[in-house]
Amino acid sequence: MFSSRHILLFVVLAVLLCAAFVAQLFLGSVSVPAAEVFTILLGKGKDEILSRIILENRLPGAVGALIAGSALALSGLMMQILFRNPVAGPYVLGMSAGANLGVALLLMGSSFFSFSGILSKFFYSEWGIALAAAIGSSAVFLLVLLVAKRITQSVSLLIVGLMLGSAISAVVELLQTFAGKDELKQFVLWTFASFRHLTPQQVWVMAICCGFGFALSIKMMKPLQALQGGENFAQTVGIDTRRAKQTIIIATGILAGTVTAFCGPVAFIGLAVPHLCRMIFKTANTVTLTFACVLLGAVVCGFCNVAASMPGSEYALPVNVITSILGAPFVVYIIIKQPKTV
Partner 1 sequence: MLQLKNIQVGYGKKTLLQNIHANIAAGNFVGVLGINGIGKSTLLKTIAGLIHAQSGSVMLNEKAVQQISITDKSALISVAGTERAEILYMTVREFVAMGKMRFSNSFNILPIEHFNHVEQVMQALQLAHLASKYIGEISDGEKQKAVIARAVAQDTPLMILDEPTAFLDFRNKRIVFEYLASLAKTKQKIILASTHDLELSFEHCSNWWVIDESRNFAVCNDAQEVKEILKY
Give the binding site for partner 1 (CB under 8 A). Answer: 1, 218-219, 221-222, 225-226, 228-230, 232-233, 235-241, 278, 281-287, 339-342
DSSP 164-192: HHHHHHHHHHHHHHHS-HHHHHHHHHHHT
| Shortest distance (Å) from residue 237 CB to partner 1 | 4
The residue (of 26 and 281) whose beta carbon lies closer to partner 1 is 281
The residue (of 78 and 226) whose beta carbon lies closer to partner 1 is 226
| Shortest distance (Å) from residue 256 CB to partner 1 | 23
Contact 323, 266 (CB under 8 A): yes
Q: CA torsion angle for 169, 115, 266, 176 (degrees, to 10)?
A: 30
* Helical segments of the chain, H only: 4-26, 34-41, 48-52, 59-83, 95-108, 117-123, 126-148, 154-178, 181-191, 200-227, 231-236, 241-263, 269-281, 286-308, 319-337
Q: CA torsion angle for 211, 217, 222, 223 (degrees, to 10)?
A: 150
Buried b (16+ CB within 10 A) or exposed e, 266-282: bbbbbbbbbbbbbeebe
User: CB under 8 Å to 299, separation ≥6 — which residues?
Assistant: 13, 16, 17, 19, 20, 69
| Shortest distance (Å) from residue 282 CB to partner 1 | 5
199: burial class by Cβ within 10 Å (0-12, 13-18, 19+)? middle
| Shortest distance (Å) from residue 138 CB to partner 1 | 23
The residue (of 64 and 86) whose beta carbon lies closer to partner 1 is 86
The residue (of 195 and 291) whose beta carbon lies closer to partner 1 is 291
| Shortest distance (Å) from residue 86 CB to partner 1 | 9
The residue (of 139 and 216) whose beta carbon lies closer to partner 1 is 216
| Shortest distance (Å) from residue 283 CB to partner 1 | 5
The residue (of 58 and 275) whose beta carbon lies closer to partner 1 is 275
From residue 147, alpha-carbon distances to 55, 230, 261, 331 in Å are 45, 17, 25, 21
The residue (of 218 and 310) whose beta carbon lies closer to partner 1 is 218
Residue 64 C-beta-side C-alpha neighbours within 13 Å:
31
How many Å apart are CA 293 and CA 300, to the nearest integer?
A: 10
| Shortest distance (Å) from residue 260 CB to partner 1 | 28
| Shortest distance (Å) from residue 240 CB to partner 1 | 5
From residue 332, alpha-carbon distances to 87, 102, 114, 323 in Å are 9, 30, 44, 14
The residue (of 116 and 153) whose beta carbon lies closer to partner 1 is 153
* SS3 label, residue 268: coil
| Shortest distance (Å) from residue 118 CB to partner 1 | 38
The residue (of 41 and 151) whose beta carbon lies closer to partner 1 is 151
